[in-house]
């Protein structure tokens, strides 16, 4: 039997004087579903392991599409029936990454929902594209927001925006007096966020994927390796960046194993 995925756990103490619900949150990022590295069988084991963690909330942070060298990408109609079995008391919620947009060039060009977006909706998993929801719990309410991919159109260019993210539109509908949890596939937005965005959770970087001695050599971010991996705090806002689970490009990880992240918000 293959080893289970590594679980990395962080304790999050809200820095702002705002009521925050005590809860555990599981982060699943950068699946990059592809045979043989992230097969349908491994997906099934992953889902079972995440459910067994007993998190109150499960967040899927994008890049479900494969794009692994020498791999065979799994389509949404194979991936979603597996992910559909994820379950948590406060629900399973998802955003999309740059590879999900790249998988559907027509949608990428037009800025319309990709076939990954449509598949998630068809399988009943709530998705967020510069939108939010207010979630009530017996430990207090919080607002869960999701930013669209900041690299949906590709790598950084000088000709205009590279993503379909719209933070100003999203922020206009959020209440600064309520604990705010933001899903953003790429962590690049973090320095530009106001202090009332209590916690941002991201993937995208793979922790560098190749990170000898824990030091990422390269990250596809406008901040370089600054937010490659881990827990960051700036003022009253915090960021957690997951190393994710799959591969992008070569199916190699050095010094940064795949992981599920579990957050204890206390």
Q: Is there a contact between 130 and 147 (Cβ–Cβ < 8 Å)?
A: yes
The answer on pLDDT for 44 being more than 90 is yes
Q: Which domains does the chain have, with CATH numbers?
A: 6-265 (3.60.21)
**Quick one: average pLDDT of 39-53?**
98
Mean pLDDT of 92-114: 97
Return d(Cα 62, Cα 98) in angstroms, integer: 8
For residues 129-148, give the mean pLDDT: 95
Per the prediction, the chain carries an average pLDDT of 95
Averaged pLDDT for residues 18-33: 96
Q: What is the pLDDT of residue 156?
A: 56
pLDDT at residue 81 above 80?
yes
3-state helix, strand, coil in the chain (%, to 5): 20, 25, 50
Average pLDDT rounded to a whole number, residues 23-27: 98
Provide the pLDDT for residue 138.
Answer: 86
pLDDT at 157 over 80: no
How far is Cα 204 from Cα 106, in angstroms, rounded to an integer? Answer: 22
Q: pLDDT exceeding 90 applies to what percent of the chain? A: 91
Per-residue pLDDT band at 160 (split at 50, 70, 90): low
- pLDDT for the residue 139: 83
Query: Residue 154's pLDDT is what?
Result: 84
Closest CA to 15 of 261, 239, 263: 239
User: Is residue 243 predicted with pLDDT exceeding 90?
Assistant: yes
Contacts of 241 (CB under 8 A, 6+ apart): 187, 202, 203, 204, 205, 207, 227, 228, 229, 230, 232
Residue 1 has pLDDT above 60, yes or no: no
pLDDT over threshold 70, residue 182: yes
pLDDT of residue 161 exceeding 70 = no
What sign does the dihedral 68-37-245-113 (CA atoms) show? positive
Q: What is the structure's pLDDT at 214?
A: 86
The whole-number average pLDDT for the span 207-233 is: 93
pLDDT at 127: 98
- pTM recorded for the entire structure: 0.96
Distance CA 165, CA 186 (A): 10
pLDDT at 16 over 80: yes
Task: Check pLDDT > 60 for residue 233.
Answer: yes
pLDDT of residue 140: 86
CA atoms within 13 A on the CB side of 112: 7
How long is the chain? 266
Q: Alpha-carbon distance 108 to 128, whole Å?
A: 17
């Amino acid at each position: 039997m293959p080893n289970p995925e590594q679980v990395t756990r962080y304790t999050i103490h809200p820095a702002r004087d705002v009521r925050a619900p005590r809860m555990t949150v599981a982060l699943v990022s950068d699946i990059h579903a592809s045979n043989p590295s992230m097969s349908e069988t491994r997906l099934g084991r992953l889902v079972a392991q995440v459910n067994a963690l007993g998190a109150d909330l499960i967040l899927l942070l994008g890049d479900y599409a494969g794009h692994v060298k020498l791999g065979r990408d799994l389509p949404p109609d194979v991936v979603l029936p597996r992910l559909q079995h994820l379950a948590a008391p406060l629900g399973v919620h998802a955003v999309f990454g740059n590879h999900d947009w790249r998988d559907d060039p027509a949608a990428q060009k037009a800025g319309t929902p990709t076939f990954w977006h449509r598949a998630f909706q068809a399988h009943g998993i709530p998705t967020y594209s510069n939108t939010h929801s207010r979630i009530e719990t017996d430990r207090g309410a919080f607002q869960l927001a999701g930013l669209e991919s900041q690299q949906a159109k590709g790598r950084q260019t000088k000709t205009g925006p590279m993503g379909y993210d719209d933070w100003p539109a999203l922020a206009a509908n959020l209440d600064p007096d309520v604990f705010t949890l933001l899903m953003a596939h790429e962590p690049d937005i973090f320095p530009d966020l106001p202090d009332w965005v209590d916690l941002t959770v991201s993937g995208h970087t793979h922790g560098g994927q190749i990170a000898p001695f824990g030091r990422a050599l390269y990250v596809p971010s406008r901040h370089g390796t600054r937010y490659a991996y881990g827990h960051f705090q700036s003022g009253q806002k915090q960021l957690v960046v997951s190393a994710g689970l799959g591969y992008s490009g070569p199916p190699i990880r050095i010094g940064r194993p795949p992981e599920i992240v579990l957050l204890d918000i206390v």
